[in-house]
Amino acid sequence: MGIKQTLLANLKNLPGTKTKRKLVVIYVDDYGSIRVRDKEAYRNLLKAGLAVDKTRYGYDTLCTTEDLQMLFDVLTSVKDKNGHHAVFTPFANIANPDFEKIKASGFQQYYREPFTETLERMGKAYDGVYDLWRQGISEGIFRPEYHGTEHISVWKFMKALQEGHRSTMLSFENGSVCAPFFFFFSAIDHPTAVFDIVKASDNEALKEDVRVGLKMFEELLGYRAVQFTPGASIYSPLLHGALAENGIKSIHVERYKAYPLGEGKFVKSFLYTGKKNKAGQRYIVRNCVFEPFLDNGSHNTDAVAICLQNIEAAFCMHSPALISTHRVNFAGAIESTHRSQSLNDLRLLLTEIVKRWPDVEFVSGSQLSGILWNDNQ
C-alpha cells in the first residue's frame, strides 16, 4: 500500500476495542438462503432475458455437500498458535419461502420453511449438507450466527408477486428469489433487505420474525445465536430491544450509515467495534475484505493481497482482524470454476496468515466477544 492508503487503513482501525492478541475472525454472509435454485433455473432465467451471467449473485445458491467438504478441507489445512484450525462464522438465514404454499394461496399469504426442508428438495448433491453443518459446529470450524429468518424483504416480495412484477414472478416460477431486473423495468428497492421499513409500525411484524427465526435457529442448530448482521446491512435501531430479548448480544454494522426509523426519518451513526447501544449490545464493524468473486462475475486476482494488507493494518493498530466475505465465493452448484478459484485463494490466504503472524489465533465470532468483552457467549 502507498502512504495515503496506509494512513487511511490505520485511521479506520483507530477507534474500537484493542487487544495485543492477533485475532482473526472470518464472517461469511448468506448461508442457508436460496437465491438462484440450480443450473436449470439459471438457464431459464438467462434465456428469459435476465442478466444472471452479469453478476456474481446469479451464481449464488445453496452450498452442496461437495462445496462444504472442499471448504472444510481448506479450513483444516492450517493451525494457529493454539493448534486450532481456521473457522468460518457464517451468518445464516434459517428459512426460505415455501414457494408451493405461497402459490396455492394465490400469492395472498407468505409461508416459510426451514432451510433443512429446502435442502431435502434440492437433490442428491445436497444429501448430508445439514449433517456437515452440525459436524463443522462440533469440530469448531463452522459456527453460524443469525442473518435474519430469510434473506428477502417479505412484504416487498409479496407485494411484487401480487402486482405481477415480471422478474420477481419469473424467479418465483423457477424456485428462486431476487434475480436481476429486466432492463427498463421497474426495480424493487433493496429486495434482500429483510429488515427495511417504511413505517415505524413495520417493526412490530419484524419483531415477531426475529422471535420466530431465532427460535428456529436454536432448534435446528442446537444453540442460541448471539450475533446478528442484517441482510443488505439495513435495519432499524428500533429492533435492538427485540434482538436483545431473544439472545442477540452483538450486531454487525457499517462504520457510518443512515438507519431507517420509519416515516421517512433516519438516524446517522458513527459506529465502531465495541461501542454499546442502549440495549447493552456491542457493535462490530468488519475491517478486512476477502471477495475473490467480484460483483461483476469476474475473478478478483488481488483478493488475497488486499485482505493481507487489511489484516496488517488491523494488527498494526492492535485491532482484531475481522474479515468479511460471502457464501457466493464458495458455492459451486451452478458454476464450479469460481468456487475452485476462491478456495485456492482462501488456502493461500490462510497459509500466508500463519506464515506472517505465527502467533495468530483463529476464533469464531462468539469467541471473539468472549475474549474482548468477557461476554458469556
Contact 345, 303 (CB under 8 A): yes
Rounded-to-integer distance, Cα 33 and Cα 30, Å: 6
C-alpha gyration radius of the chain:
20
pLDDT at 191: 86
- For residues 59 and 36, what is the distance between their CA atoms, to the nearest angstrom? 7
Instruction: Answer yes or no: is pLDDT of 274 > 80.
Output: yes
Q: What residues contact 101, with CB distance under 8 A and at least 6 apart?
A: 109, 111
pLDDT classification of 69: cutoffs 50, 70, 90: very high
Q: What is the C-alpha separation between 259 and 332, in angstroms, rounded?
A: 34
283's CB contacts (< 8 A; 6+ apart) are: 250, 251, 252, 253, 271, 272, 273, 274, 275, 276, 277
Tell the residue number behind the cell numbers 426460505, with chain if given: 96
If DSSP states are collapsed to H, E and C, what string results for 101-119?
HHHHCCCCCCCEEEHHHHH
CB 123 within 8 A of CB 117: no
Domain 3-372 has CATH 3.20.20.370: yes
pLDDT of residue 2: 66
Q: State whether the Cα torsion 175-179-184-185 is positive or negative.
A: positive
Q: What percent of the chain has pLDDT over 90?
A: 84
The pairing of strands 250-252 and 256-262 is: unpaired
Asked if residue 180 has pLDDT above 70, the reply is no
Q: Are strands 95-97 and 112-114 parallel, antiparallel or unpaired?
A: antiparallel
Strands (E), 226-347: 227-228, 250-252, 256-262, 265-270, 282-284, 288-289, 321-326
Using alpha carbons, list the distances in angstroms from residue 341 to 55, 118, 336: 17, 27, 9
Q: What angle do CA 180, 327, 270 make, to 5 degrees?
A: 85
Reported confidence tier of residue 350, pLDDT bands at 50, 70, 90: very high
pLDDT at 305: 97
Bridging pattern class, strands 321-326 and 288-289: parallel
On the question of pLDDT at 183 being above 60, the answer is no
Domain ranges of the chain: 3-372
Position of cell 420453511? Answer: 113
Q: What's the mean pLDDT in 270-282? A: 96
Cα distances (angstroms) measured from residue 340 to each of 70, 123, 302, 303, 346 = 9, 22, 16, 14, 10
pLDDT digits (tens, 9 = 90+) for 312-330: 999 999 999 999 999 999 9
pLDDT one-digit tens code per residue, 140-166:
999 999 999 999 999 999 999 999 998
